[in-house]
Amino acid sequence: MPLHITRAALAQVERQAAAEHPLEACGVIASQNASTLASRVIPLRNQAASATWFSFEPREQLRVWRELDERDEQCQVIYHSHTASEAWPSRDDIALASDPAVHYLIVSTWPQARHKVRSFRIVEGRVFEEQLAIHA
């Protein structure tokens, strides 16, 4: 099943990744449910402040998850950028992917990247690339 995302949301993620380069950018994209467009981008601070790693600050993440509940939304996408590699999950990305229902979107800001944006499902350590369906 492809990731259905709005063009505006994808552009916002790409802008954030470019602005935060050379550090990895991260955040989530919310939707009303799994069958609606991923549209509301919620940038999060990369607590790791690293060019090769990202982590959400726990209190900020808890605040966002509570907000999602209050708005009757769900986290449909967890995104982050890769600053010096292709848009493909690293070993750490795979090991820490805990929700098989979530889309994992990676944006590469590495100039040599062949694919700048890719989406994946990660289930029990197995990576499945999926198509991006970009909507107006």
Express each pLDDT in 94-112 by its tens digit: 999 999 999 999 999 999 9
**What is the percent of the chain with per-residue pLDDT over 70, rounded to a whole number?**
100
State the average pLDDT for the chain: 96
Domain range for 73 is 3-135
**What gap in Å lies between CA 70 and CA 14, rounded to an integer?**
27
| pLDDT 10s digits, 32-68 | 987 789 999 999 999 999 999 999 999 999 999 999 9
Total structural domains within the chain: 1
Residues contacting 30, CB < 8 A, separation 6+: 38, 39, 40, 42, 68, 71, 73, 74, 75, 76
Can you say whether residue 125 is alpha, beta or left, with left for phi > 0 and alpha for psi between -120 and 50 degrees? left
What integer is the mean pLDDT of 112-128? 97
DSSP for 51-106 reads SS---B-HHHHHHHHHHHHHTT-EEEEEEEEESSS-SS--HHHHHH---TTSEEEE
CATH code for the domain of 12 = 3.40.140.10
What would the mean pLDDT of 20-36 be, rounded to a whole number? 93
Structure tokens at 36: 């609606």
| Cα 118 from Cα 88, distance rounded (Å) | 7
